[in-house]
């Protein structure tokens, strides 16, 4: 089963500092997966030059002012997204006597946001140019926001487009292990914009035999949930 393998950071007395967040590097215009740097109202495959997330490996903003013709690529940091299909993570508990702490970040920053959907979705809301009729499930294009709170569209879509509201609050579940102590899964609610530190009890969650021997498996409700693991002696 496809899962994202989490980073496990071993902390010791002399451990160096770890920068946890994603950062960006400048790339050529033909680079696969690039984002075009724009002045404002970033759309698909674009990012505003003054976006708080647009930082380099040193944690400082890449751009102090807008200049056309720049392209960037995101580099995944300490925290990772789950597998897009299964929405699962896994990691290996190498040292049962050590203390493991799960670090979880809900990257949705607003209570509710929108995602595109099909017109026949029961929750579908039609995107219109202006004067939306909420009773007929319509919304103005400039009121449609992404999970980070920014506008999804900088102009009204040319074709019929539908969106639906999604809660910014998520969950993560640590699946029970198959040892005698593995009785119940443990689920945590993750408020939008929140970062959580969860102590893991290896006896409850570590698998002791089978295909996942030595592993802990986690499952989230959304790919906007990122995670990593700290290991303390």
User: What are the CA-CA distances from residue 118 to residues 141, 156, 166, 224, 231 (Å)?
Assistant: 16, 17, 14, 21, 44
Instruction: Provide the number of structural domains found in the chain.
Output: 3
Domain that includes residue 55, residue range? 23-75
Three-class SS of 62-96: CCCCCCCCCEEEEECCCCECCCCCCCEEEEECCCC
Q: Are residues 46 and 71 in the same domain?
A: yes
Q: Are residues 192 and 205 in the same domain?
A: yes
State the pLDDT at residue 11.
65
DSSP, collapsed to helix, strand or coil, labels residue 165 as: strand
d(CA 101, CA 216): 12
State the pLDDT at residue 12.
58
User: 168-189, pLDDT tens digit by residue?
Assistant: 999 999 999 998 888 999 999 9
Chunked in runs of 10, what are the mean pLDDT values of the chain (233 residues)?
81 55 89 95 94 86 95 86 96 82 95 97 95 93 95 91 97 95 94 94 89 96 94 78
Q: Are residues 58 and 146 in the same domain?
A: no
Going by C-beta distance under 8 Å and a sequence separation of 6 or more, which residues neighbour residue 39? 48, 49, 66
Closest CA to 191 of 171, 211, 175, 207: 171
Q: Are residues 173 and 232 in the same domain?
A: yes
Q: Are residues 203 and 230 in the same domain?
A: yes
State the pLDDT at residue 20.
63
Q: Are residues 136 and 159 in the same domain?
A: yes
Q: Are residues 97 and 59 in the same domain?
A: no
State the pLDDT at residue 19.
59
Q: Are residues 99 and 140 in the same domain?
A: no
Closest CA to 90 of 222, 206, 10: 206
Residues in the chain: 233
Q: Are residues 231 and 221 in the same domain?
A: yes
pTM value is 0.74
Q: Are residues 174 and 214 in the same domain?
A: yes
Measure CA of the first residue to CA of the last residue in the chain; give whole Å: 31
Q: Are residues 103 and 204 in the same domain?
A: yes
8 Å CB contact between 17 and 78? no
């Amino acid at each position: 089963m496809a899962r994202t393998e989490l980073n496990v950071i071993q902390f010791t007395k002399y451990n160096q500092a770890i920068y946890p967040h994603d950062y960006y590097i400048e790339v050529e215009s033909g680079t696969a997966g690039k984002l075009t740097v724009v002045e404002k109202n970033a759309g698909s495959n674009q990012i505003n030059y003054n976006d708080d997330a647009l930082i380099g490996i040193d944690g400082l903003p890449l751009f102090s002012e807008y200049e056309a013709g720049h392209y960037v690529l995101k580099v995944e940091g300490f925290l990772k997204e789950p597998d897009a299909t299964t929405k699962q993570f896994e990691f290996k508990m190498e040292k049962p006597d050590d203390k493991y702490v799960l670090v979880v970040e809900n990257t949705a920053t607003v209570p509710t946001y929108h995602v595109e959907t099909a017109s026949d979705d029961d929750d579908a809301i039609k995107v219109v140019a202006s004067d939306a009729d909420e009773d007929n499930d319509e919304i103005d294009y400039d009121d449609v926001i992404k999970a980070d709170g920014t506008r999804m569209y900088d102009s009204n879509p040319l074709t019929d487009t539908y969106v639906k509201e999604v809660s910014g609050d998520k969950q993560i579940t640590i699946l029970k292990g198959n040892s005698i102590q593995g009785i119940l899964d443990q689920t945590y609610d993750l408020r939008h914009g929140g970062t959580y530190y969860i102590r893991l009890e290896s006896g409850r969650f570590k698998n002791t035999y089978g295909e996942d021997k030595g592993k802990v498996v986690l499952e989230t409700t959304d790919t906007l949930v990122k995670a990593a693991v700290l290991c303390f002696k």
